[in-house]
Amino acid sequence: MGTHWQIDTLEELDIEIRGALRTVIADYDQGFSRFRQDSVVSQAGAVPGYYRLPQAAASLEPLYRSLYRLTEGAMTPLITGSLEHLGYDADYTLRAQPGFLPSPDWAEAIDWHGTRLQTKQPVVLDVGAAGKGQLVDLLAAELERHGVGNYVIDASGDLFAQGLTLRVGLEHPLDPSTAIGVVELDHGYPAICASASNRRSWGAGLHHVLDGSTGKPVQTVLASWALAQDAMQADALATALFFTDHATLAKEFDFASVRMFSTGRAEISDNFDGEIF
């Protein structure tokens, strides 16, 4: 998935479970990776038409539809063209073209309902803002199916803990050696995901968190953290916090959050049960 993953368990996983986990990952990558030409989303983007997405899309579609509406089009699964315009393409050329390219309008570009996708123009569906979190949930479900009840899944900072309490530091976006606070994952909110503009940056003011309505990288928010019942929602909401506030998102989602602005100010939701230094 292009980043480091780790699963910690109390007992070593046998070869059958390891194989099952690898199959889940491979199937997800085959369906949703925009960095491989043979994935379903890449094929749908190359040749407009009707496509059948993996079953996981049935959960992604309503989530993205809600966040697209709540952020007024800023958070969109159609961000690929805007990212490629700035050099963040499948080949990682990292050479930005002049200006900024807004993402196409949802209704004009695609018709997406559950696992059914119609692309009306060459546009690649990008579920990266929630996909890594969803894959965490799918791996958690696979572990549970094999009777593994105590584990931590760490998808490069997107965390899900089951059967134990985990104390997590919130990494300072400008100094990875320090934290701006700590929080515990428990049965209330077992998942935490973070988004930070410093994680994938390649030029002055250029990073991977773009406002789809303008095609410009967000400059006001540096980092965000969201805690939720599952990693898919936590992952998506951490990105959505770059475009709108907790109160707006809390109208439809149950989560806790922290976000840090470029001024150094931190905004903390009332239900955040942690400590900010």
Cβ-in-10-Å burial (0-12, 13-18, 19+) of 20 comes to middle
Nearest to 253 by CA among 268, 238, 242: 238
pLDDT, mean of residues 234-256: 97
Give dist(CA 34, CA 275) in Å, integer.
37
Structure-token match 């123009």, residue found: 121
Torsion of CA 180, 238, 123, 36, to 10 degrees: 60
Nearest to 129 by CA among 66, 195, 215: 195
pLDDT digit string (tens) for 156-191? Answer: 889 999 998 889 999 999 898 999 999 999 888 999
pLDDT digit string (tens) for 36-77? Answer: 889 999 999 899 999 999 999 999 999 999 999 999 999 999
pLDDT more than 90, % of the chain: 74
Nearest to 186 by CA among 168, 201, 172: 168
**In the prediction, which pLDDT does 57 show?**
97
**In the prediction, which pLDDT does 201 show?**
65
pTM of the model: 0.93
Give dist(CA 238, CA 67) in Å, integer.
11
pLDDT more than 70, % of the chain: 96
Three-state DSSP at 120 gives coil
Could you tell me which residue, 275 or 88, shows the higher pLDDT?
275
**In the prediction, which pLDDT does 198 show?**
67
**In the prediction, which pLDDT does 204 show?**
65
pLDDT digit string (tens) for 106-151? Answer: 999 999 999 999 999 999 899 989 999 999 999 999 999 999 999 9
pLDDT digit string (tens) for 184-228? Answer: 998 889 999 999 876 666 666 666 788 999 988 888 999 999 999
Contact between 135 and 5 under an 8 Å Cβ cutoff? The reply is: no
Backbone angles phi, psi at 219, to 5 degrees: -110, -15
Structure tokens at 143: 């572990």
Give dist(CA 13, CA 181) in Å, integer.
33
Longest dimension (CA), the chain: 53
Is the pLDDT at 2 greater than 90? The verdict is no
